[in-house]
Structure formats: structure tokens, C-alpha cells
Amino acid sequence: VARPHIVTLTTDFGLVDHYAGAIKGALLSVFPEARIADITHAVQAFDVLDGALAIAESYSYFPSGSVHMVVVDPGVGSERRPILATVGEHYFVAPDNGVLSLVYAQADSVMVREITSSHYFRQPVSSTFHGRDVFAPVAANLAKGVDPAKFGDEITDYVRFAAPQPKAAADHSLRGIVLKIDRYGNLITNIRASDAPQLFGENPPPFRIVAGKETITEMCNHYAQGAPGELFAIVGSMGYLEISTNRGTAAKLLGIGKGAVVSLWLEGAAAASSHHG
């Protein structure tokens, strides 16, 4: 694949310290022509699932041949391996801790290598900052056009985890959870079209969603459809069911957070999640 010289960054370094700056320097000193695009540096500290969501929801919008550096790495310096994954026409460098799990889950073709060619690393390699010393120089060389095979051999036992899935419950609900709360206070659940196809279609049947102490029965097509102060369901830009409110924060109205249970009942139908637990 031709390389457009793009390197994206998804980390939990935050925006206050110099860590993201040191990474950019380490990239540019190997490949000054790299086009660096920050996806986010505000993944929750040490939170591999949060990082997995951020990269899975954004990488595919970048051009083929982009290199994605994903550094949420509480195990830095331990035995956990550095990996290079080729997923479709995108390249990823990351610690092998599952942070690419949701990228793998969407993909047709995945090939993972352990990065072992230490002559590409910044020397000496610290035991606390592989983003700077291992991942950045490997990403820069990849963006430059180096063949992935040069960095190490294929492995098949790489770490992956399943995203939390909604489940059919005894009370005939489909029971999901809040995956994350975004900047606007939208509650993004883990319920997708494949979990409740009728609800995501043109004319959704009557339904009830119970979240916190509230019951939601309205579906909106866009945020501005909602009446002020009213909670509604909406299919968000990530393809998940969200609970939202117009020009306000649903998370505050509901008083619930990440991980909270969201139950869905569709009228005249048992829960649709036949393919889950």
C-alpha cells in the first residue's frame, strides 16, 4: 500500500505534560515529512477499553496506508510485547494489551507481528516510555515506507478482548451498558443495529428504555428534534444507540455514568439479541 506519510496519535498522555511533544519529536527526527494528526491524548489514564473505542471509531476515516500509533500502556517495560498490526490497508503500532481489540473486531483481514527489530528503536530504550523510544521510531519508519515484515514475525496469540455486549435478560429486555459519555453528555450505549434491527430502522416500533430513574420512549433522528429538557434515544455517529437531550447533557439529567445499565424493551417482541449470551 502507498503511504500518505500520515501518523495518527491516540494516547493517554494528556495535554498538560510534555509526553506528546516528545513523541512528535521522536517521530519527526526519523521522518521529518511525517504528517502527524492527533486523534486524542485524553484517553482515560490506563484505560485500555477507552483507548480501544477511540481508535476503532476514528481510524477508518483516514486514508489507506496511514499509520496509527496507539499508546495506552500501563504495562510499559514489562513482558507485554510491542506489536505492529496490518488491518485492511491501515497500520497500527501499539502495546499487545488488547487496545486494538475493537479494530480487529470490525476487520476482514488482520495480521499481527511482534516488533522485535530493536535496531529501529531509539537507544537507550527506557523502561517507562516506549511511546518515545519504541513506538514512535517504528511508526515513523512505517510511514516512510519500510516493509512491515522488517519489524518482526507474525504472531497469532496476540491479546484481544470482546467489547461488552448487550444481553437478553429474564425480564425480556435487552440489557446493555453505557460505554462512554461524550463531551456533550450523550450516553453512548453498547447497543447496535445488529442487536435491535427494528429499533434502528425507518419506522421503529414503540419501545421503552430504562436508564437510571428515567424511562425513555421517544426516538429522534437528530438532536434538535428533542424538546428542551426531554430525554430521547438516537442512533449516534458511532452506530450505537445513545441517550441524549437537545442542547443539554443527558448524563446530568440522568445522573448515571459509564458502565450503568440501560434496558430496552421493544413492544410486542422478546429481546432481539439472539446472537448474544
Nearest-approach distance from CB 140 to its own copies, in angstroms = 11
Do residues 207 and 193 make contact, with C-beta atoms less than 8 angstroms apart?
Answer: no
Smallest separation, CB 94 to its own copies (Å) = 15
Tell me whether residue 40 or residue 165 sits nearer to its own copies (CB atom): 40
For 214, phi then psi, to 5°, come to: -110, 155
Q: By C-beta, is 137 or 166 nearer to its own copies?
A: 137
Q: Are 233 and 196 in contact (CB under 8 A)?
A: no
Strands 6-11 and 67-71: parallel
Annotate 3-14 with three-state secondary structure. Answer: CCCEEEEEECCC
Q: Residue 61 — φ and ψ, nearest 5°?
A: -80, -15
With respect to its own copies, which residue has the nearer C-beta, 18 or 213? 18
CB of 229 to its own copies, least distance (A): 14
Least distance (Å) from its own copies to the CB of residue 84? 20
- The one-letter code for the residue type at 103 is V
The percent of the chain in helix, strand and coil, each rounded to the nearest 5, is 25, 25, 50
CB of 6 to its own copies, least distance (A): 6
One-letter amino acid of 214: E
The residue among 14 and 201 lying less far from its own copies, judged by its C-beta, is 14
Q: Which is nearer to its own copies, 170 or 224 (CB)?
A: 224
The residue among 6 and 159 lying less far from its own copies, judged by its C-beta, is 6
Tell me how far apart the alpha carbons of residues 207 and 198 are, in angstroms, rounded to a whole number. Answer: 10
Cell 511533544 -> residue: 21
Q: How far is the CB of 5 from its own copies (least distance, A)?
A: 8
- Measured between alpha carbons, how far is 112 from 158 in angstroms, rounded to an integer? 7
C-alpha count within 13 angstroms, C-beta hemisphere, residue 254: 28
